[in-house]
């Protein structure tokens, strides 16, 4: 059950860090990403020994969370494009193992609770071989864009 990620979130290359949604239900979403060796940031992080920046791994989690929020909004009758997810808080980030060019990861996001217009979520990343990469807690608000 693969969903096209660009139908769910506004992010686009070169700032799109989720390849596809592989499964979801009312409280969770799992996405997949392959980190391509030709991605430009590897030229500077670190030359000769490239490693995926932790902040981009976190961004992959937040984008998977945005896809989850989009699916929930659509299920509630909100038309695609009527809102965007805005990150409100990040806490308890734990980096456990590095991700290298060519690695494939699975990103899981879990809804913890909704309160006052915010959705509290937890995310974790692991390589497809099961190696734990990171976990993070965060909050997201769904906002309707204001006219320009």
| Closest to 120 in 3D by CA, of 88, 144, 145, 95 | 88
Catalytic, out of 3, 11, 45, 78: 45
Q: Does residue 45 have an active-site annotation?
A: yes
Helices (H), the chain: 54-75
Please, what sign has the CA dihedral across residues 136, 129, 1, 16? positive
Distance, in Å, from the CA atom of 56 to the CA atom of 69, rounded to the nearest integer, reads 19
From first CA to last CA, the distance across the chain in angstroms is 36
**Catalytic site residues?**
45
């Amino acid at each position: 059950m693969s969903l096209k990620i660009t139908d769910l979130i506004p992010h686009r290359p070169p700032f799109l860090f989720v390849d596809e949604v592989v499964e979801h239900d009312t409280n969770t979403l799992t996405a997949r990403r392959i980190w391509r060796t030709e991605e430009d940031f590897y030229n500077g992080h670190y030359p000769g020994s490239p490693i995926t920046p932790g902040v981009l791994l976190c961004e992959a989690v937040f984008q998977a969370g945005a896809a989850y929020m989009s699916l929930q909004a659509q299920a509630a009758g909100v038309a695609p494009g009527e809102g965007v997810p805005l990150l409100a808080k990040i806490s308890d980030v734990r980096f456990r193992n590095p991700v290298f060019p060519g690695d494939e990861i699975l990103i899981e996001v879990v809804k913890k609770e909704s309160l006052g217009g915010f959705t509290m979520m937890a995310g974790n990343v692991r390589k497809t071989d099961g190696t734990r990469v990171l976990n993070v807690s965060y909050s997201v608000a769904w906002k309707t864009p204001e006219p320009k």
